[in-house]
Amino acid sequence: MSGILRIRGFEVHQGFLPRPEQEALVDDLRAVLARAPLVQPVTPRGRPMSVRMSAAGRFGWITDRQGYRYAPTHPQGTDWPPIPASVLAIWEAVAGTDRQPECCLINWYGNGARMGLHQDRDEADFSQPVVSVSLGDDGLFRMGNEERGGKTESLWLRSGDVVVMGGEARLRHHGVDRIRFGSSTLLPDGGRINLTLRVVT
């Protein structure tokens, strides 16, 4: 399936990345993760998150007992690797801004992982979009409102789908209720990778 769906301002580019591009992205991400390993973060209240995280770019988004924030180094103390050119090309194609992303957050969803409804609001400039790239297993993406609560709409994101969260959608709550573990053959051991590209400053 390919084409653009608009739901509450979320611009969903279905089937944006052909399979060979998805495979090349995974190779590039493996190189990033070799330098900046995935970690299982804890929320500021000390609850372990079910996704594992790493990042590329000037900043990574991290969470621990000290709070949610952008950090210039990996928790292990090293710089984050640069954002791969293959990832920057996606931003160039869909973001519609002259600015470059300063963070590529890498979220890895294993069997049973989910992401609760949240807003992306640790960035300085909400006129800049957040661009999300889905790879691997299907994920059930839920889209809500700026305020907490109210009705939501859900859509399965598949490997190669790209979502632009800008404009009216920029501060809407969103999350991933569940993944269909093993639904994609992209990652040999199953799981879902989601990249979110953000302008931080």
Which residues bind to Fe ion, rule: CB under 5 A?
120
Q: Which residues ranging from 72 to 111 are in contact with ligand SIN (CB under 6 A)?
A: 107
Pairing between β-strand 162-165 and β-strand 130-136 as defined by DSSP bridges: antiparallel
Q: Cβ of 67: how many Cβ atoms within 10 Å?
A: 10
Cβ distance to ligand SIN smaller for residue 33 or 77: 33
Cβ distance to Fe ion smaller for residue 74 or 142: 142
Backbone angles phi, psi at 87, to 5 degrees: -80, -45
Selected binder of ligand SIN within 29, 62, 95, 115 (CB under 6 A): 115
Shortest Cβ contact with ligand SIN: which residue?
Answer: 194
Measuring CA to CA, which residue among 174, 110, 177 is closest to residue 139?
177
Pairing between β-strand 67-71 and β-strand 60-64 as defined by DSSP bridges: antiparallel
Q: How far is the CB of 188 from Fe ion (least distance, A)?
A: 27
Instruction: Establish how many alpha carbons lie within 13 A of residue 88's alpha carbon, considering only the half-sphere containing its beta carbon.
Output: 11
Cβ distance to ligand SIN smaller for residue 22 or 196: 196
Selected binder of ligand SIN within 159, 194, 197, 199 (CB under 6 A): 194
Contact assessment for residue 119 and residue 173, using Cβ atoms and an 8 Å cutoff: yes
- Cα-based torsion angle of the residue sequence 60, 187, 94, 32 in order, rounded to the nearest 10 degrees: 30
Q: Which residues ranging from 136 to 165 are in contact with ligand SIN (CB under 6 A)?
A: 139, 141, 157
Selected binder of ligand SIN within 174, 186, 191, 197 (CB under 6 A): 174
List interacting residues with ligand SIN (CB under 6 A).
107, 115, 132, 134, 139, 141, 157, 174, 176, 194, 196
